[in-house]
A and B are shown apart, each in its own frame.
Chain A
């Protein structure tokens, strides 16, 4: 069974592996204990105590708090019930003028704001950019991912979720 030590996985997450180190991990058989090791690594990186149940997004985790499953940022900001779209708690900037788009793209190389705008979703706690949406004006906010946590633990991992 393939296994990688925590240090290697930590370096991989941080983008520190060389191509020679990374290539075999991409090409090879996957390590079945990856999920548990990544959670250990992520848990060690945060300063709060709630148990991570599922990493859901870069910087965001579904954690167990007071018997409830909520989305929580690395910085400690709490977005509430994981079944609600966490983006509804974000601070949002909408780039819907050519001037604002051309801060990030050369002229001619970004969308026309009449056709498409660029939304930036920030964590209200640390103002890390959590997500972007390139969508026509008026497009409903997208709910990226709603996991079935209990089915995952019970039926795929063969054990109860940590909070059950």
Chain B
């Protein structure tokens, strides 16, 4: 028990947090700061101070991942560090998976609000661990280590580090558990728990942690990695104070956050237009056939409507009013995770560069309605894979901001969205032969870090290179993945045709892979991605959404015979209607239109397929340059049968030249024909309205769609009112889900 407050000037931390919240509410500025005095008095010193702290954090991250880290953390840098004020506001951040900068902020605030100062106490050298989404995290496989930083007897900040684990001991192996439907399936929970003192992790904690997960070695390495980084940050902060003085530090951290807030508003004024922006994104949750648990057998579309209001002062209101409900699935998303997603994307679209910190968070008012998927307010639910809602939902924000960027003329900054970071194939097994016999391997390839980015207003999207949660996305080296998932060696990776969203500028493209189970037993396998619905909010300004995922695997195959006789085996699935699996393999081949599946058991020689995601397109495809379409054909990005239909390009492959030759006259004629077809096959708005309304009133909607509407209509008065007004439905209108 602590009796003497550890906050500034004899205050408790809770008092400091209350004051901070009061200041922002009443003055709209961080800690009521009117003038950036330190910056004005000596801008060079101020900037040097920021750069030194920023450098210390980047250095801590780079060093820590080499001190000790699991392969996934080391290979693609699935970690980040941040420095926080005593109340938990981020001051400066490292590089890496920045989605977690704000989530850790919520974890600190949770500890302050729960009065950890009194019990269990916050002392120099203490170590706290958190992975609970309900108090500042995304899912249980993101694990945070937070340490307090003291100067004499006052708490002057927190250092926090987060890494992503391959496994956290949930219902099945993996990091995004499709089959988790309640908290008790999510794996081991550390709810802001003290796990060490005097800079040392307690032995009993580490014994417990090792016995709580399937990959104890990786867990322990990453605990050491995070603590090492945190201690480096603490040292750097204390050196900073020695150099600049404690009073400078205290004033500096307030001013830097306030400057971050002002930079955000100035950037909004520089790049956007005041007004109202809207988009709607969706994700399919097809669990009726898949779920084991009776109450989880529900098919549903998740409704993710977004409205952004840009106010005259450059501040922003972001609202998910109308969102559908949570449910017995792992995709429920806590408020802190939503704020993390919002923050990480704003750092990429608007506030990249200088003073990236929680200032941007304070410049945005948010509405994540309680009781919806984006703020369920129920800690008994599963939060194991909130990405299923969070990732598609924020394509809407990208699109809304892009409308403003277009109007302002900054078309090069437009990004209508991105691909889902899937097909996240997961699972694992036990080696049944070889030098590692008896040991467990985990399937957790982070190739998912390389998705297609949406097209901009002036060029095609980035191919196989984007993950919304990490501005420095990197899909890593295949050799590294094979090191720790050796029971499922790759048979191939190659470009997957027809993944990008069509458009004047196409979305980013992506690739596919085939792998086989070998030398293993007790193998679980599952995966997740969009399937029944196009991902997110689709294309922009006439661009189309990128292709959906699907599930393909083969059991009881003749792969041994194929290998022994050196026969051809499938290298991909370039044409799903005429599959290589069916042509080249004997066995039980399974294809599913949807992509999110519960775990299945695989045996040696079973073959799995996965495809990564493209990105959405921009602009009318008929305006795509013919030479760009030729390049797509030559590179296998698109196939000719689709190019004819959507781009109106007539081309012929010349075997002897090894390239596609465009028929320019034929293309011109075909494009005119497509325009004529658009006229002939389209409806007036009134006819379209009648047709769509009929689907609602005549009970033509499918069960998952009705479920979505019934939830949104129940959860939001405003959304309900607009829905009824648009379709001119009676006030007592209801959609029954049987």
Contacts and interface: CB of A to CB of B under 8 A. Distances in A.
Nearest to B703: A114
Interface in A80-105: 87-94, 103-105
A35 B407 CA distance: 8
B105 to A, nearest CB: 29
Which of B404, B550, B688, B693 has most A Cβ within 10 Å? B688
B274 A137 contact: no
B607 interface: no
B280 A130 contact: no
Contacts of A15: 458-459, 504-505, 625
B692 interface: yes
A86 to B, nearest CB: 10
B533 to A, nearest CB: 4
B683 A93 contact: yes
A21 to B, nearest CB: 11
Interface in A12-36: 12-13, 15, 17, 22, 25-26, 30, 32, 34-35
Contact of B541 (A13, A120, A130, A148): A130
Contact of A115 (B279, B681, B704): B704
B682 A93 contact: yes
Contacts of A130: 541-542, 620
Contacts of A67: none
A28 to B, nearest CB: 10
Contacts of A48: none
Choose among A35, A105, A109 the residue with the greatest number of B CB atoms under 10 Å from its CB.
A109
A151 interface: yes
Interface residues of A, number: 72
B620 A128 contact: yes
Nearest to A112: B532
Interface of B: 269-271, 273-280, 282, 284, 301, 303, 312, 400, 403-404, 406-413, 457-459, 497-499, 502, 504-505, 531-534, 537-545, 547-550, 575-577, 591, 593-594, 618-623, 625, 639, 642, 645-646, 675, 678-679, 681-685, 688, 691-693, 695-696, 700-702, 704-705, 708-709, 722-723, 726-727
Contact of B722 (A34, A118, A140): A140
Contacts of A37: 409
Given A58-B406, A116-B533, A132-B539, A137 B273 contact: no
Contacts of A129: 542, 620-622, 678
A133 interface: yes
A12 B722 contact: no
A69 to B, nearest CB: 13
A12 B411 contact: yes
Of A106, A139, A140, chain B has the most CB atoms within 10 Å of the CB of A106
B577 A107 contact: yes
A153 to B, nearest CB: 10
Contacts of B533: 111-112, 115-116, 134, 136
B213 to A, nearest CB: 35
B273 A142 contact: no
